[in-house]
Structure 1
C-alpha cells in the first residue's frame, strides 16, 4: 500500500517536479531509496548480539554496510539501518569472531585484530555503548604467543560474561598481558587477569563456544581432546574456579569438533558442529545433552542435518533455530536455516522456502521472536540480503528490514532497446531486492521486466559484465570477465541471449576467447550483424587474435577481418564503428600489428591499420570511451594527461584525420572520463571519475557546449557521490546513468538513475541571419558562443536579428516549469553580407514608423516580414523603385525584414513600430 501511494503521489507531482535540466527523474524506479540501503555487508558476518533495545551488534570480516565504511564491527537500528550514533572510526584492523554484551551496555569483542580505531588491543577489546574505545579496560599487551621467531596466528574465538561482569575468553593464545595462560581465561571487569580461575596447565585444542550455567559452572566446546591429561573429546564443563567438573560425564564425547553451544532454561545443553556421533551414538551435527553430560535421547532429529552447524539460538518456547552449511533437514528442503521443535523434530510452521544460498554463521532472536541471521550468503528465498536477514516468526523474510532497492553493486554497461527498455550489466547480484546476477532488463519506467528471465544468471564469485550490446533482431550480447556459467550452462566470457533472456545456443563460438586474463570490455554490432569484440585475450576458438576479433552472426570467427598481431598484450576498452565502416579503437596499448599507436587507433573495415589517421605520439594513458559527432569529429575520454605531447586532461576532440581539434577547449579538463554521449543538439555529456571540470566543481558528470565549455544550464547540484561508468539515452531528453554511485544531488539512487536533459524546448529556427526561438512561452537571453557564452546586451526577445557573423545561442527559461536550457550554437556567416546591396541600392524609411514605411530598391526582390516571435506576417514582391508597406492595426514592437534578390543578394533589417 505504501508503495502504491508513493507511486500515485509521484505521478500527480511529476508535472511540477522537473524544474531544471539535469534533475533526477523521480518517476524512474520511484521505490529506489538509494544511499546504499539494502547493500548489506561487504563481507562475512561471524558474530552478532542483540541489545535490549533490539539494536544489533554485528562483527566479522566486512568493511562496509549499506555503502558506509564500518570495519569489522557495526551496530544496526531495529529497522536494519546503520546506527550512526555508534562510532567505530577505523574500527578493528582484522576479523571479529565473538561479541558479548555486559549488563551496563558495554560491548566485549574478540577476534584476530591488534587495534581498534588506532588503539592497541591484541585480540580483545571493550567498547563503550557509543562505540568508543573503553580505556578503563586494562588488557595491557593482551593475548599473545610465547613462541618467538615463528609467526603464530592468534585469535579469540569465544567470549561469555558472568553475572558479575567477569569475562571468560577462549581461543588460540598462551599468554595474556605477558602472563602464561592456557586456551581459556577469565578476566576481571577491569580487564586484568582473574588468577582465581585456574583450568590447569594443559588443554590440548581450543574452544569455539562457552556457556555459563545459572550455578556458575561453565560448559565449553570446540576442537579439543584433552584437559590436564583427561580425555574430553570436544566438550567439558568447568567449575566456577576453572577446575574440571567431574560430575559432567560425556563418555567418549563427540567424534569431531563443536562450533556452538546453547543453554536451555532447564539446564540442558544443545550442541551443533561438525560431529556425527556422541559417546558412540549417532548424532549428526546437532545433539542435546542432559545436565550430567549424557545424551538426551528425547531429542530426536531423525536423519538430522546433512552438513555443518555453525550457530544455534533457543527461543523462549524452547524451539531451536539452527544456522549452518546444510542444505536439507530430515529429507526436507531447508537451506542453511531450520527451526526444530523442542523434541528435535522439524517445525513445519517455520517455512524458509529455498532458504539461504550460502552459509549462516550466526543466528540471534529478538524480543519479539524474529530471527536475525548473518553469514556469507547473498540471498534468502530468492531475495537479495547480502549477509544479513531478518525472518518473521513463520520463517518468511521480513521485508521491512533493510530491503534492497536499485542495484546492490556497480553497473558497468547500459544498452537501450528500440522500445526504450534498458539492458544493464555489471557486478550486481540483485535489483530492487530480486536476485538478478549481473544482467537485467528494465522496463521504460525503471522497474524490472519480468519477461526477461535470466534464471540464475552469471553465477560465481567476482563475475562481472563489462559490456552489453543490442543486435538488430533484439537479441542481446553480453561480455565480461570470469563469466563461465550462465543459468547453469558453461560459457566463456561472451554470450548471446534471446529476447526472453534465455541463452541462444545457436551462437556457437567454440572455445571462445582465451588468454592470461580472458576478459571482454567492448562489443559493437555492425549493420551486417557482424560483431566486433575487444578486450584482453590472445586467441578466439584457437585462432590467434590479440584483444580484438570480428565474429560472424553465428558466433564463428570472421577471417575476412585480419588484425595481424593485433594489440599484443594491450587491452581494448571501447570500439566505435564509423559510417564508412572504419572503426576507432580505444584502450591501453602502444601499438597495433607492429605499428606504433598509443591507446587510440583507426582500422579499416578489413582490420588493417588506417594510415590516414595520424595521432602522432598519441595518448600517454588509457582511453576509455570514444564518440563520433555528426560532423565526423571524434570525442575521446580517458585518464590521459597528454595527447601528442600536448597537455590535455581526460577529454579531447580530434579531427577526422586524428589531429587535435583546437576549437574544442577543455581547459584543465577532468581526471577520468568513462562514458560520453552526444545529444541531438550537439551538446556533450561526460560521465566518469572526477570532481571538477576545468577547475569548476562537477562531481562525476558534466554537460559541455560544442566548444568544450561547461553548459551551466545543466544543473547537477552536488552530482553523483561515486563514479559514473555508463551513459545512454532513452530518447533525446532522458539520460540513463549507471555506475557505482548511491546518490545524485542528495537524492538516493543506487547505481542507476534517469536525468532530465531537455525539460524545455530550446530549439531555434534559422532564417538567413534571423534567429527565432521556437518556444513562445519563455524568456530569452541571446549569447555569444565565441565569447564564453557572454550575454548580448539588449537581445532578450524571442527573435534575434544577427548583424555580425559568429556563433550564437539562446538561453530559454520556461514560463510554466521554471526550466532553463541553452540551445546549440548556430553559425551565422551571412549577417554582414549584402552582396551588391549598398546604401544607394537599398533604403528603408522612416524607421521607427507607425506601421507604414517605404523600401526604395534598385532591383526586383522579395521581402519577408517577421514579428518578434518569429511568425511571418507578410511576403511581398518588390519592384524597382519605391515600394510602400502598410500595416493596419499592427502592434507596436520590433519587426524583422529579410530581403532577397533573384541573383542571391540578400539583406536584413530591423524596424520599430511606434504608434
Structure 2
C-alpha cells in the first residue's frame, strides 16, 4: 500500500470537469426483448434485437433511449407467420453511407422454408430494402456481417443441404451494396458452424465459429472467399464451445474471445474465460485463460462452474475491453466488463448487479465521454414478460454509478485508524482537519494518522472514480481526539482502582492506602468538566457521573501522588 502526500493541486490531474453519465437500466417493454446489438448516436443509443407477439413469430425490434438511458421509441420489423432472426451479437453494423445493415435469418412458419436475411436501414432506422438468399436449402442462417472495401457486404453463417443426415457447413456470402448476391462459399473444415467475421487489412476475411472437434475454428480467406489458412484453438480434451468475439486489431492482428473447456460435471460443460491474440498468419501471439472466483456476500467460496468472455473491442490506446459472464453451480448468471492491456493481462473487472436469474451483456461500444455502453438482456425477477432489454452505461473505468464515500474509524489516544468503506471508487483524498497535508490513496485502503493535539476535528474523505472532477463523493465526520497529554497527568495506576468500568453512572474510586484529597474529571479533548474536593481521611470515594456519556479521564490526587485512568460512561 502506497500513499502520497498531496495538495489540492492533485485535482488538476483529473481529466475534465463534467460529470460522467452512468446508469444501469432495464428498458421495460410489454413484449419480451432480446438485445444483441447497440449503436451510439449523438442523442442516445439504439438497441437492436428480437421480440415476439406469440411463441412462434419473431420480429426485429429497434429501441431508442436517450443519453440518460430513458426509453423514447421503438420500431418493429416483421410479418405474420414469419420469424425474423437478427443474427448473433454484433450482427448490426453501420455502413459507409451512415445507414445500417442487419444480418440474420428469415423462416416461413407455414412452408418451413428458411433463408439468409439482410436488411438495409437508413440513418433513421427505416428499411431501405430487405433481401433473402439461398432459400432452397434444408437450413441456412447468417449471424454476422462486415462491409467490404468495395462497399458491399460479407455475411457469415451456417448452411445444411439435403439430406437431413448431412453435416452443416460454414457459409460465406458476398453481397453488393444494393443487396444482390455475387457469390457464396462453403467450408466443411475446421469450422462447420460460423458465427463471427472480421475484415482483414489485406481485404480478406477471418471467420470464427465452432469446429468439428468442438474447439474454436478459424478460417482466413481472401476478398473473393478463397481459403488461405485454417486453425483450431482450444483444449483438445474438452468441449470449447465456439468463438464469441472476433476483431481485427490496429496492428493487423486478431483478438478472439470465448469459453475454454476444462471439465464436465453432471453432463454440463465447465468453461473458463479465454482470450487469444493471433497474427495475420494465424499464429498465436499470446493465449490467456482466466478463472473467476465466486463471491457470495463478498466471501470467496470457490471457482465458478463456468465463465467466458463475450464481445470484445479495442480502444485507440491499444487497450482491450470485453464483456463476460459467470455462473457458480446452479446459481444466477452474472455479467461483467473487463479491461486488458495489449498483452491480454487483466487491468480490472467490474460486475454489474441485476435482479434476474440470467443476465447477459452481449455487446459493448466506447462512448465519446471515455466510458462504455453495454447492452444485453436479463431474465428478470419482477417483470412480465421476464425477458427484458438491459442497458449499462459506465464511466472510463467501468463503474455504472457515481462513487459513494464512507468510512469508519477507531481512536486510540491521539492516533486514529480510518477504514475506507467507499464503493465504486478508484482513488481517495483524506483531509484530517488539522492542517496537515492531504493524503492521496490510489487504492482507497485504510489509513492512520497521528494528531499533535487533542480536540475535535472534521475528517473528510473525498472518493473519486478516476474520470472527472465531478465524479466524486465526500463524507465528513466530526471526530474527537483525546490523548494522554492532559496537563500534569501521568498514567501510574498501580495504586488506584476504579470500578465498574464501563460504568452506567456510579464509580467506586479507591487507592490502596493513600487518602484521597481531590478528584478531577476531564473529557476526551482535555477540558475539565468536574472537580470534587474530598477530606483527606478516606482512601475511597463514590462518584456519580452526572449523566456523562463517552470516554473520560479521572485524575485522583492524594497527599503524595496523582493517578489517572480512562473511564467510559454509558
| Aligned mate of 1:517, from 136, 139, 151 | 139
Residue 390 of structure 2 is matched in structure 1 by: 752
String of CA shifts for 1:471-508, please: whole Å, max 9, x gaps. Answer: 222333223334459xxxx9863322344444434x65
| Aligned mate of 1:624, from 244, 248, 257 | 244
Answer yes or no: is the 8 Å Cα contact 1:536–1:570 preserved in 2: yes
Is 1:685 aligned to 2:321, yes or no?
yes
1:347-386 matches, cutoff 5 A: none
Deviation at 1:551, TM superposition (A): 0.9
Deviation at 1:717, TM superposition (A): 5.3
Relative to the length of structure 1, the TM-score reads: 0.33
Deviation at 1:753, TM superposition (A): 0.9
Relative to the length of structure 2, the TM-score reads: 0.50
Answer yes or no: is the 8 Å Cα contact 1:409–1:426 preserved in 2: no
Is 1:639 aligned to 2:259, yes or no?
yes
Give 3-state SS (helix, strand or coil) of 2:307's partner.
coil
Deviation at 1:407, TM superposition (A): 7.2
In 2, Cα distance between the equivalents of 1:673 and 1:612? 22
Answer yes or no: is the 8 Å Cα contact 2:207–2:220 preserved in 1: yes
Is 1:724 aligned to 2:361, yes or no?
yes
Residue 77 of structure 1 is matched in structure 2 by: none
Change in 2 beyond 3 A, CA 1:633/1:776: farther
Give 3-state SS (helix, strand or coil) of 1:610's partner.
strand
Residue 733 of structure 1 is matched in structure 2 by: 371
Is 1:25 aligned to 2:23, yes or no?
yes
String of CA shifts for 1:725-764, please: whole Å, max 9, x gaps. Answer: 23233444131312235389xxx99322132131799xxx
Residue 179 of structure 2 is matched in structure 1 by: 555
Change in 2 beyond 3 A, CA 1:733/1:457: same
Is 1:416 aligned to 2:44, yes or no?
no
| Aligned mate of 2:118, from 494, 507, 510 | 494
Answer yes or no: is the 8 Å Cα contact 1:425–1:468 preserved in 2: yes
| Aligned mate of 2:198, from 573, 576, 579 | 576
In 2, Cα distance between the equivalents of 1:420 and 1:632? 33
| Aligned mate of 2:104, from 469, 476, 480 | 480
Change in 2 beyond 3 A, CA 1:568/1:553: farther
Higher strand share: 2
| Aligned mate of 2:223, from 601, 605, 612 | 605
String of CA shifts for 1:817-862, please: whole Å, max 9, x gaps. Answer: 2389xxxxxxxxxxxxxxxxxxxxxxxxxxxxxxxxxxxxxxxxxx
- Over alpha carbons, which structure has the higher Rg? 1
String of CA shifts for 1:438-493, please: whole Å, max 9, x gaps. Answer: 2214144345565x754x635447643223222222333223334459xxxx9863
Higher relative contact order (CA 8 A, sep 6+): 2
| Aligned mate of 1:702, from 337, 340, 360 | 337
Deviation at 1:603, TM superposition (A): 2.0
Deviation at 1:521, TM superposition (A): 1.2
Change in 2 beyond 3 A, CA 1:423/1:491: farther
In 1, Cα distance between the equivalents of 2:18 and 2:333? 23
String of CA shifts for 1:642-684, please: whole Å, max 9, x gaps. Answer: 7xxxx98332222314333447453569533332233445443
Answer yes or no: is the 8 Å Cα contact 2:339–2:346 preserved in 1: yes
Instruction: Name stretches of at least 5 consecutive residues in structure 2 with no aligned partner.
Output: 1-15, 162-167, 263-269, 293-303, 400-426, 431-438, 446-463, 475-570
User: After alignment, is 733-742 or 528-537 more displaced?
Assistant: 733-742
Give 3-state SS (helix, strand or coil) of 1:639's partner.
strand
In 1, Cα distance between the equivalents of 2:153 and 2:320? 27
In 1, Cα distance between the equivalents of 2:391 and 2:442? 32
Answer yes or no: is the 8 Å Cα contact 1:652–1:660 preserved in 2: no
Give 3-state SS (helix, strand or coil) of 1:600's partner.
strand
In 1, Cα distance between the equivalents of 2:429 and 2:22? 24
Instruction: Name stretches of at least 5 consecutive residues in structure 1 with no aligned partner.
Output: 1-14, 35-404, 762-774, 784-789, 792-809, 821-915
Deviation at 1:612, TM superposition (A): 8.7
In 1, Cα distance between the equivalents of 2:473 and 2:276? 30
In 2, Cα distance between the equivalents of 1:705 and 1:496? 34
Answer yes or no: is the 8 Å Cα contact 1:614–1:658 preserved in 2: no
Answer yes or no: is the 8 Å Cα contact 1:428–1:437 preserved in 2: yes
Is 1:465 aligned to 2:86, yes or no?
yes
Q: CA RMSD in A?
A: 5.2
Give 3-state SS (helix, strand or coil) of 1:495's partner.
strand
Give 3-state SS (helix, strand or coil) of 1:722's partner.
strand
In 2, Cα distance between the equivalents of 1:675 and 1:465? 16
Answer yes or no: is the 8 Å Cα contact 2:243–2:257 preserved in 1: yes
Deviation at 1:558, TM superposition (A): 2.5
Answer yes or no: is the 8 Å Cα contact 2:203–2:222 preserved in 1: yes
Change in 2 beyond 3 A, CA 1:553/1:819: farther
Change in 2 beyond 3 A, CA 1:584/1:726: same
Change in 2 beyond 3 A, CA 1:602/1:515: same
In 1, Cα distance between the equivalents of 2:282 and 2:127? 40
In 1, Cα distance between the equivalents of 2:107 and 2:473? 45
In 2, Cα distance between the equivalents of 1:484 and 1:699? 35
Change in 2 beyond 3 A, CA 1:533/1:558: same
Answer yes or no: is the 8 Å Cα contact 1:730–1:736 preserved in 2: no
Residue 913 of structure 1 is matched in structure 2 by: none
Answer yes or no: is the 8 Å Cα contact 1:686–1:702 preserved in 2: yes
Is 1:675 aligned to 2:287, yes or no?
no
Residue 158 of structure 2 is matched in structure 1 by: 536
Deviation at 1:533, TM superposition (A): 0.9
String of CA shifts for 1:222-276, please: whole Å, max 9, x gaps. Answer: xxxxxxxxxxxxxxxxxxxxxxxxxxxxxxxxxxxxxxxxxxxxxxxxxxxxxxx
Deviation at 1:600, TM superposition (A): 1.9
Deviation at 1:572, TM superposition (A): 1.3
In 2, Cα distance between the equivalents of 1:625 and 1:737? 15
String of CA shifts for 1:863-894, please: whole Å, max 9, x gaps. Answer: xxxxxxxxxxxxxxxxxxxxxxxxxxxxxxxx
Give 3-state SS (helix, strand or coil) of 1:728's partner.
strand
Deviation at 1:813, TM superposition (A): 8.0
Residue 49 of structure 2 is matched in structure 1 by: 426
Give 3-state SS (helix, strand or coil) of 1:758's partner.
coil
Change in 2 beyond 3 A, CA 1:457/1:625: same
